């Protein structure tokens, strides 16, 4: 639940980064079409060429979508384990009270 609330709180910031065009006259993002373009420009200009290739492969949908699905499955698995441990803890408390 806490992770879901964090995601909801981050949505407006992510929307602003992706959607709005930065100021043309001042600021660190001036001259950029989108705010996140500065990241790709920095990777292309300031890092070695192999790093740009690796980041290009990692940021492709072929890698991101399975990773997100895997994270969702992991979160669901951990939540189900937490629920089962809570239930077994309650059952053990009941057994101790009855003894």
Give the C-alpha separation, 92 to 21, whole Å.
Answer: 58
Give the C-alpha separation, 59 to 38, whole Å.
Answer: 15
Look up the pTM and report it. 0.58
Provide the percentage of residues in the chain whose pLDDT is more than 90. Answer: 33
pLDDT of residue 80: 94
DSSP per-residue string spanning 30-94: TT-SSTTHHHHHHHHHHS-HHHHHHHHHHTSHHHHHHHHHHHHHHHHHHHHHHHHHHHHHHHHHH
């Amino acid at each position: 639940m806490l992770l879901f609330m964090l995601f909801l709180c981050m949505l407006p910031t992510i929307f602003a980064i992706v959607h709005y065009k930065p100021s043309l006259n001042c600021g660190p993002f001036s001259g950029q079409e989108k705010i996140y373009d500065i990241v790709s420009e920095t990777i292309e200009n300031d890092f070695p060429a192999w790093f740009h290739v690796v980041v290009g492969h990692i940021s492709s949908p072929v890698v991101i979508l399975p990773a997100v699905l895997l994270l969702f499955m992991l979160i669901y698995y951990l939540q189900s384990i937490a629920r089962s441990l809570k239930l077994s803890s309650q059952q053990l408390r009941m057994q101790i009270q009855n003894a």
